[in-house]
Structure 1
Amino acid sequence: MGSADLFRAGLADDGTTDAALSPPGGLMDVLGVAAVVLDAQGRVVLWSPQAEQLLGYSAQEALGQYAARLLVAEEHLDLVLNLFREVMESGEGWEGVFRVRRKDGTTLPLEWRNMRLQDDLGGYYALGLATDQATLRRVERDLALSVRLVDQSPIGVLVLGTDLRCVAVNPALERIGGRPAGELVGHPIRETLPFGDADRLEAAMRGVLASGRPLVDRHVLGRPPGADDGEHAWSVSLHRLDDPGGRVLGLAVSVIDVTDRHRAATEAERARRRLTLVADASVRIGTTLDLEQTARELAEVAVPALADVAAVDVLDRILTDPGARPTPEGDDGPALIRALAVAAAYPTVAVRAADPPGEIARYVAGRLVTRCVRTGRPVLVPRVEEGHLRDIARDEHAAGLLARAGVHSYLAVPLTARGQVLGALDLKRARNEEPFTEDDVLLATELASRAAVCIDNARWYRQQRETALTLQRSMLPEMPQRLVGLEAASRYQPARAGSEIGGDWFDVVPMDRERTALVVGDVMGSGINAATAMGRLRTATQTLSRLALDPAVVLRHLDEITAGLDPYIATCIYAVYDPHRAQVCLANAGHLPPVLVRRGCAPRLLDLPTGTPLGVGGVGGVALRSITVGIDPGDVLVLYTDGLVETRDQDIDIRLRSLTALLQTADDSLADTCDRLLRSLRRPDTPDDVALLIARATG
Structure 2
Amino acid sequence: MVSDVDAFLRSAARRLEPRAEKLIDVLFEGFRSEIPGLWEGDDTALTLSLSEHVTCWLDVLEHGFDVTAIRAPPAAVESARGFAQRGGQVSELLHAYRIGLARTLQWTLDELAQLAENSELISAAAIKVSAVAFEFNDRIAKQVIDAYQEERERRLQWRLSFIKGATARIGTTFDVTRTSQELASVGIDYIADLVTVDLLDSVLRGEGTDSSTDLSTLRRIAQQSVLEGCPDSVVGSDETHTYPQDSEPARALATGSALRLHLTAADVPAWLTGPPDHGRALSAYGFHSVLVVPLCARGTTLGLVQFFRHRTPVPYSDDDLLLVQEIASRAAVYIDNARRYTHQRSTALTLQRSLLPHHVPELPAVETASRYLPCGAHQGVGGDWYDVIPLSGARVALVVGDVIGRGLQASATMGRLRTAVRTLADIDLPPDELLTHLDDVVIRYQGEQEPDTDEISATCLYTVYDPVSRIWSLSSAGHVMPAVVAPVATDSVSPSRTVDFPDLPIGPPLGLGGFPFETTQFELPEGSLLALYTDGLIEDRARDTDAGIAQLCDALDQAPASLEDACDLLLATLLPGRPSDDVALLLARSRVLGADHVATWDLPSDPAIVSDARTHAHEQLAIWGLEDAAFATELIVSELVTNAIRYGKGPIRLRMIRQATLICEVFDASSTAPHLRRARTFDEGGRGLLLVAQLADRWGTRHTREGKVIWAEQPLPADRSPGTGL
- Normalization by structure 1: what TM-score? 0.33
Higher relative contact order (CA closer than 8 Å, sequence separation 6+):
2
- Normalization by structure 2: what TM-score? 0.32
Higher strand share: 1
